Structure 1
Amino acid sequence: MVAPGQTPGYLQVQPTPTARVNECFLNVQEQVEAEGGQMLCGWQIWEWPNVLVEAEFHAVWFSLDGRLVDVTPKQEGEGRILFVGDPSLAYAGLAKDNVRLAIRDDLLIRHFIRVSEEIVKVMNRGERAGTYGYVSIPAHEIEPLMDARSLLGRSIAEGRREKSPCLCGSGGRYKYCHGRDFPW
């Protein structure tokens, strides 16, 4: 799917003392400058059980002795990640959207994936596309999408499906309530 012909494997997460969460490219660049080796780009694979699999553009350190190490700390403190290298990728300072695949066919999951894709598009629209780190986005552009993703995420986490009562409390099924709000 994301790296044809490549084999995924688990890597240890061994953050460097100065490494920052969500800054894998900068962290690996600093590690290469300090210890040698090189950056290997690929995909960090996450699973939301029974919901979706998500591949996140990611970089790890390829040490001089041939080890692959994730030097970037994780928000939830994970000690290892599933990673697949992708020789066709290189970091060029621009964001790359995650690849998401629904595990089951459900309107809530499809909408969650589409809203996630729209958030990335808004964050990388126009001159923001070349911005690294903090990106300022007008509230009217991003807040409705973030609210929608939050509603969808909570609904999915609670085990709701497209025919379940909508989380908004209207009593109607999601499919005919907030499910209609999405143009997809």
Structure 2
Amino acid sequence: MLCGWQLWEWPHVMVEAEFHAIWLSPDGQMVDVTPKLHHETKVLFVSDPRRRYTGATVDNVRLPVRDDQLIRHFIGVSEAITHVLSRGVPTADGHVSVPANEIEPLQQAQQFLGHALLTGLRDHQPCLCGGGRKYKRCHGPELERAFAL
């Protein structure tokens, strides 16, 4: 097993690195045996000899590609979700059990922010909720208060 980081870019939003492991064959070929969610055939993998798999959750590293409150909020909510899930109890089917009142608001916020970013919304444009105010004056402060972003 060779540990490192699987990297990808969400264009105009962020670059993300996920702690990942691949199989190093006896002839030195790197083989990724993990099924890909979107059926990618190639991924960028960077080995990190300082890292070892210990069974503990390792949060992704997310770096925004521009200064925008929406992106910072998406990253903050994503980190909060990982934190809640890391405190959860593993179930027999491979999922993690956490209190719904802790995870559901975070997932809803992540879904709202992800949709806003997919549509190309910027923090200085009208919010997707339809209230007429800019995101940074509408849902931006609300999310900061709710999730301490």
TM-score with structure 2 length normalisation?
0.92
Distance 2:108 2:135 in 1: 15
Map 1:172-183 → 2, pairs under 5 A: 172-181=133-142, 182=144, 183=148
Map 1:67-82 → 2, pairs under 5 A: 67-82=29-44
Aligned mate of 2:84, from 96, 110, 122: 122
Structure 1 unpaired stretches of 5+: 1-38
Aligned mate of 2:118, from 120, 132, 157: 157
Deviation at 1:69, TM superposition (A): 0.9
Distance 1:91 1:83 in 2: 16
Identity of aligned residues (%): 57
Distance 1:105 1:42 in 2: 27
Amino acid at match of 1:136: S
1:148 aligned to 2:109? yes
Amino acid at match of 2:98: I
Deviation at 1:170, TM superposition (A): 1.1
Aligned position for 1:45: 7
Distance 2:113 2:40 in 1: 25
Which segment is superposed worse, 131-140 or 89-98? 131-140
Aligned position for 2:132: 171
TM-score with structure 1 length normalisation?
0.75
Runs of 4+ in 1 over 2 A off after TM superposition: none
Aligned alpha-carbon RMSD (Å): 1.2
Deviation at 1:137, TM superposition (A): 1.2
Which segment is superposed worse, 133-142 or 107-116? 133-142
Distance 1:138 1:164 in 2: 34
Structure 2 unpaired stretches of 5+: none
